[in-house]
A and B are shown apart, each in its own frame.
Chain A
């Protein structure tokens, strides 16, 4: 296994009931977040279930290493992401062929500022369509965008989960948002929600 957790030192045994109680209190409460992120990373509910399950098992085994009262959500998401990279990306063999850091952003605002500067066309786009558009983003953009815009994490937290510099988070987030806007704009034009010309 890629991430075997070391055996906790014999000098600091944690009573099982305490371990369970603290794990329930600090880790299990983040199940919804983990599931949402897993779903966006894997792209389907069954793999998302497995990924969350695996994450929780690994987290429980390593629970002694977690410093209680610190950022459990970020700690869990780091484990989840490692598990995703180790298992799923290797298994699905979909290496990213695009160098995400060279993708040129497209400013939707400049396209719509005359016709719909308030972005009213967004309101016509339903949940499923937005999620589908997110799922089409390169994974490096998708994970950054989901952690920031769905889960509301700070640049610093995201940088530590993804193990990249804060500047990379910033630039990926910028591009991810612009790319997603472009996809939603194209969809809105296609559906006739806005006149425009497809990006």
Chain B
């Protein structure tokens, strides 16, 4: 596993979408390679940041009422 391959698979690694074998190779590479480790931390932080910024919004109460009214006549 070289740095280019590691960076290429970084998102899949963060998303837990890799085969156990490839996951192990990436983990080993990250432990031995500080620059890739830094990039891993950066990308992980970015994904957490993204989720936190976007997840706060829910459906307005009025929409729920509207859906119930339309479906069940309430």
Interface stretch among A66-74, A93-101, A116-124, A191-199?
A116-124
Taking a contact as CB atoms under 8 Å apart, the answer to whether B43 and A109 are in contact is yes
Which A residues are in CB contact (< 8 Å) with B58?
A: 31-32, 35-36
A61–B45 alpha-carbon span in the complex (Å): 42
Interface size class of chain A, counting residues whose CB lies under 8 Å from the partner chain: 35 or more
Render A113-154 as a binary contact track against B, CB cut-off 8 A, 1 for contact: 100011100110111001100100000000000101110101
- Please state if B41 and A177 are interface contacts (CB–CB under 8 Å): no
The residue that A150 contacts in the complex, of B42, B50, B67, B71, with Cβ under 8 A, is: B50
Query: What separation, in Å, do the CA atoms of A126 and B52 have in the docked complex?
Result: 10
Beta-carbon contact of B42 and A109 below 8 Å = yes
Q: A57-B71, A130-B54, A150-B54 are in contact. Are A52 and B59 (CB under 8 A)?
A: yes
In the complex, A134 Cα to B53 Cα: how many Å?
A: 11
Which of A53, A117, A123 contacts B63, CB < 8 Å? A53
Ordered by A's residue number, 26 sampled pairs between the chains whose C-beta atoms are within 8 Å are A31-B58, A31-B59, A34-B59, A35-B57, A35-B59, A36-B54, A36-B57, A109-B38, A109-B39, A117-B41, A118-B41, A118-B42, A118-B45, A119-B42, A122-B45, A127-B56, A149-B47, A149-B51, A150-B51, A150-B54, A170-B17, A173-B11, A173-B15, A177-B43, A180-B50, A181-B46
